Amino acid sequence: MLAGGFLSLLSTVLAAVQFAHADTTALEARASDPCAVIGNQTWASPADVRACFTSFPVDPEEKARIIEVVNKTLAFHTSVNYQKLAPPPFTLDVHEDLLADLARISSQSYASDFDLHIDLSRTLKRLNDGHCVYINYCYDSLFLSYLPTPLVLLTDKFGIQTVHIAPEAFTVASAEFGDEIQTWQNALPASLKGQLASLSGAKVLAINGLDPWLAVDANAKISGSYQGLAQRENGFFSSYNAGATGWTYTLGQFAQQSLPLTDSVRLTIQRVNTTKIETITLPYRSRFGTSSVKFANSAEFRQNNCKAVESTNGFNYYDDSMTKRSTFRQNPADKFRQAPMPSASEERKHLLNVMLDLQPQTDVALPPGLTPSNPLEGSSSVVQFHMLSDKKTGVLALGSFSGDTFNNLLENLLTGLQNLKNQGASQLIVDISNNGGGYICVAHWLHRIIVGPKDTSVPQAGLDTETRAGPLAQLIAKAAVSGKDPNGFLLYNSISWSFANNTAMPAGYDWLADPVKKTINGRQDAFSQRLGQECQPFSLDPPAEALFDPKKVVVLGNGRCASSCSLFSITMAKEEGAKTVVYGGRSVVPQQYCGTVGGQSTDYSTIDSEIVTTGLKDHPLAPPDFTTNSVQGITWRLGFGIDNPNEPEEWQNHPADVNLHLTADIVNKPLAIWEQVAKQVL
């Protein structure tokens, strides 16, 4: 027994020593590998994530490859020379010489690969164009950094606007961040510890000791996405969206950030029902992205998240018997597109105009108390219909112009609007809050069925467009119509397009052979001939009469309506006389009801597929393959204007008719906002 007991004790001691040694070895490995500290973690501090990101030096060959791909892809971006200096009213907002800045970045040294990425990303963001964005899965939204205190802009009875913590902040944070909420509870000062809920609705007097508007505008300088200052300011605050799986809550760029650059924030606040001024410091906490790939150490981090994947670069549509659209790969940009994306086969069948952002679309739920209930017939996915209490105002809440199959969207929009009319609705509110676009022809369809058949809706219910016609684009178009694209997959195939008189181009027509020469901001450029409509006849028969008088239609949102959403709202406002309302905007800043118009957006991987399929990958103007897990978005077609039909609509004015001020009792409550609009505007 004694011998057995001794052996048992010895075994226990040896096991403990081995465990301690293993534990020490693991700690040493983590200390020498900053990525191991955050590996397989759901939550981390931004500082720890940043330590991992900044631990990698710049690879000169990789850097040169990225810049070459971006530079050569920009030859297909229709807006490059316009964005060197945009015309009024956006001259002060858009003045980025992208080609010069890429040359600067090429010759500049950086402390880390992450620092290089920040500079490249922000350079593209200075275009304030949500179609032309550079994204690297290695860093962008790998971890998202959060605060439990989303902000709102409220207006009191005297018209004075002040920044507040959202009244619903704790409800949202406790539901979404339940596993981390205690960290923020414990971070509060002793007198408030555990009372995070009491911050909801508090007036924010200072952010990091300064006027809150300094923080708002500092963010607006780097957030990109929209030409207008108002829309970039509005993105700082929380809002809502009719998502594909239910109503979602957008935290805003103060409470949700795509890169781990900020560790904490100091807020000077006045809580509800008290005159006491208090200062608190809250840490940002970084949560691992739902679509990021797990890793345990630096090597796995780079391999799993930073290297090019199968879909990063283009491919030959006719290789390996890929003659059916169902075999197309999912687009690598889809994660960052600001609209729910269809299947790859559906995406190839129907043209898209969708903005990109460094943050994926939110999946945070709008709290039940704020969510409109009992949607009416036709409601499905991003389409929601409601009737207001006056029994004459119908509402279409449209979260995007995609998110369901193309035909389902056409059918649901028609069914829902006809049902509203049959129930007695004589006026309509279309809520397009945070609508980042989608199918181009769904935007045309919605315009057409609301206003009926007329010269502004048949045959063209959208905008005429043009694409850039550089030397390589001309070669692709020539090859596409000369036998390289027998099934008509390519964007550059003439069978997809119509002439300016809206008659279809014939097969085999070399439509870029005679480009239109222009001088833009002192630079020579070349574009296609003017292109007409590509949507009609629709796959579903539209009604023979208008469903609503367009002058009794309100297009409502927070100004962050882009791409296909802009195509719809602009034609409704400028051609049909619909009223436009932006809610929650700053009184002293002119509000734009939409922005980032484009005409059709795409990305490097799609352009690369056009190049590869036509056998032009070895051409000196063709971009090489990305070796990084990167995405480069572009505007491929640019819509012509309505007020000035010979210039792009992109930089023409879209002033809202009404800036609806928000109060604590209606903020982020769609139904309450709709009722207010019906009373004040219709």
Per residue in 355-408, pLDDT (tens digit) is 999 888 878 999 999 999 999 999 999 999 999 999 999 999 999 999 888 999
Spell out, as residue ranges, where the chain has pLDDT lower than 70.
1-31, 321-328
Cβ(674)–Cβ(388) under 8 Å? yes
Q: Which residues pair with 155 in a beta bridge?
A: 161
Give counts: helices (H), strands (E), the chain: 19, 25
Q: How far apart are CA 489 and CA 581, in angstroms?
A: 40
Contacts 24+ apart (CB under 8 A), 541-544: 542/414, 542/445, 542/448, 542/449, 542/453, 543/414, 543/418, 543/449, 543/452, 544/452, 544/453
- Looking at residue 31, its pLDDT comes to 65
Nearest to residue 659, comparing CAs of 578, 592, 576? Answer: 592
- Looking at residue 368, its pLDDT comes to 94
- Looking at residue 327, its pLDDT comes to 56
The rounded Cα 574 to chain-centroid distance in angstroms is: 25
Which helix H or strand E contains 7, and what residues bound it? Answer: helix 2-32
DSSP letters spanning 425-475: --EEEEE-TT--EEEHHHHHHHHHHHH-SSTTTSS-SS--EEEB--HHHHH
Q: How far apart are CA 509 and CA 494, in angstroms?
A: 6
Residue type, 145: S
In the chain, domain spans: 144-236+255-288, 383-463+540-590+645-681
Handedness of CA 550, 553, 559, 561 (dihedral sign): negative
- Looking at residue 30, its pLDDT comes to 57
- Looking at residue 21, its pLDDT comes to 44
Top CATH class, 144-236+255-288: mainly beta
Q: How far apart are CA 372 and CA 391, in angstroms?
A: 16
Q: And the tokens for 404?
A: 């369901």
- Looking at residue 328, its pLDDT comes to 65
Q: Is the peptide bond before 537 cis (omega within 30 degrees of 0)?
A: yes
For 257, the 3-state DSSP assignment is strand
Nearest to residue 266, comparing CAs of 248, 284, 285? Answer: 284
Please write the tens of the pLDDT for every residue from 420-445. 999 999 999 999 999 999 999 999 99
- Rg (the chain; Cα; Å): 27
- Looking at residue 337, its pLDDT comes to 86
Please write the tens of the pLDDT for every residue from 218-240. 999 999 999 999 999 999 999 99
Q: And the tokens for 588?
A: 């002293």
Handedness of CA 355, 541, 377, 669 (dihedral sign): positive
Backbone dihedral region for residue 232 (phi beyond 0: left; psi -120 to 50: alpha; all else: beta): alpha
Q: How far apart are CA 339 and CA 222, in angstroms?
A: 22
To the question of domain 383-463+540-590+645-681 being in CATH 3.90.226.10, the answer is yes
- Looking at residue 11, its pLDDT comes to 46
3-state secondary structure 389-431: CCCCEEEEEECCECCCCHHHHHHHHHHHHHHHHHCCCCEEEEE
Nearest to residue 333, comparing CAs of 306, 308, 351, 311? Answer: 311
- Going by C-beta distance under 8 Å and a sequence separation of 6 or more, which residues neighbour residue 123? 96, 98, 101, 102, 105
Tokens 């502004």 belong to 456
Q: How far apart are CA 298 and CA 458, in angstroms?
A: 57
Q: How far apart are CA 176 and CA 186, in angstroms?
A: 18
Determine how many CB atoms are found less than 10 A away from the CB of residue 377. 14
Cβ(172)–Cβ(362) under 8 Å? no
Cβ(131)–Cβ(123) under 8 Å? no
Phi, psi (deg, nearest 5) at residue 442: -70, -35
- Looking at residue 170, its pLDDT comes to 98
Q: How far apart are CA 353 and CA 582, in angstroms?
A: 22
Nearest to residue 244, comparing CAs of 398, 396, 376? Answer: 398
Nearest to residue 473, comparing CAs of 411, 532, 414, 516? Answer: 516
- Looking at residue 79, its pLDDT comes to 96
Determine how many CB atoms are found less than 10 A away from the CB of residue 20. 10
DSSP letters spanning 185-252: HHHS-TTTTT-GGGGTT-EEEEETTB-HHHHHHHHHHHH-S-SSHHHHHHTTS-EEEEETTEEEEE--
Percent of the chain beyond pLDDT 90? 89
Task: Identify the burial level of 309 via C-beta atoms within 10 angstroms of its C-beta, where 0-12 means exposed, 13-18 middle and 19 or more buried.
Answer: middle
* Largest Cα–Cα separation, the chain: 102
